[in-house]
Amino acid sequence: MRNFLKLIIGLGSLTGFPALCFAGDALTLKSQYKRPLEIKFPKTAPYSPQLVTLGKMLFFDPRLSGKNNLNCASCHNPSFGYEVPVKTPIGATLTPLKRQAPTLLNMAWVAPLFWDGRAETLEEQAAGPITHPDEMGGEFETIIKRLSKSPEYKKFFHYLFPQTGITRENILKAIATYERTIIAGWAPFDKWIEGDETAISNAAKRGFIIFNGAGKCATCHSGWNFTDNKFHDIGLEIIEKDLGRAEHESNNVFAENAFKTPTLRNLSHRSPFMHNGHLKSLEDVVDHYISGVIDRPSTSPSITNVTLSIEQKSDLIAFLKSLTAERQDVSMPILPN
């Protein structure tokens, strides 16, 4: 912490904060980014390893799609931060979807869900892509019939839900319980927060100060999961008309073109960025906030172009990359016959 305080005192003038004032704030700043050590499961869906196992099988099972050719991982690929490495995913109609697939990392701490916040729970969220005709194109009546033909699935559901068996509600509960266990691994940044001064570079440490200061990133990307769970129009160029949050909050001028603040965890695996996959790299994202923010009536009051030097931009990107954990192997489940 002593080295961190020296760094802050030396960089106060670069961040836009008075050096001594920011040094005092540093005593609590790092604590705001400490990771929780347990997942909070809802009382209606308490954790059990058996339920997570069932949910994982369903997550990877194409029988939940209309044509038996897509699963949840088709758009939420573990290798790419539970997103896809293209501008937007390809759905059941073999055409690109309007929005990028939001990451599933750390969703146990996120609500509401989707880019426009139309789902309050992970159970509700899971139903959306499964049944949407442009996404997986499934129908639960058909899905239940398919799963019921599997003796193994019948055994699993009877064990976990002895009174009800294979139902829409139980399918969604299993998937949501699995999704709550999809957690970003410990990144170098987390090790630094826990006291390992060697875990990240000096450039990344300077970037942390810029992130919380001159870059104004922490205004929206706050806390250990780097999201305020709110909706903002960040002044992106409108390529294709998309009302965003305004579809569900029509009387709020700031809801138009506003989308959910995403977590910044594992960014190095998650390009392209933004709700429409419009920006290809972290450099493009930072450049947007330096000179690309379009001022319009719906633009969030907290979003304005920022002034950063080339060196500050480099340091900020170094910090953002420190939020990526080492790749975690995700084993594929053996699906029931």
Just list the catalytic residues.
Answer: 135
Looking at residue 57, the DSSP 8-state letter turns out to be H
145 close to 114: Cβ distance less than 8 angstroms: no
DSSP 225-291: TT--S-EE------SS---BGGGT-TT-GGGTTBEEPPP-TTGGG--SBSTT--B-SHHHHHHIIII
> For residue 126, is it left (φ>0), alpha (ψ between -120 and 50) or beta?
alpha
Q: Which alpha helices (H) appear in the chain, and where do they start and end?
A: 2-15, 19-29, 49-59, 122-131, 140-148, 151-160, 168-179, 188-193, 202-212, 282-287, 310-321
Amino acid identity at 172: L
Q: How far is CA 29 from CA 71, 106, 201, in A?
A: 41, 21, 18
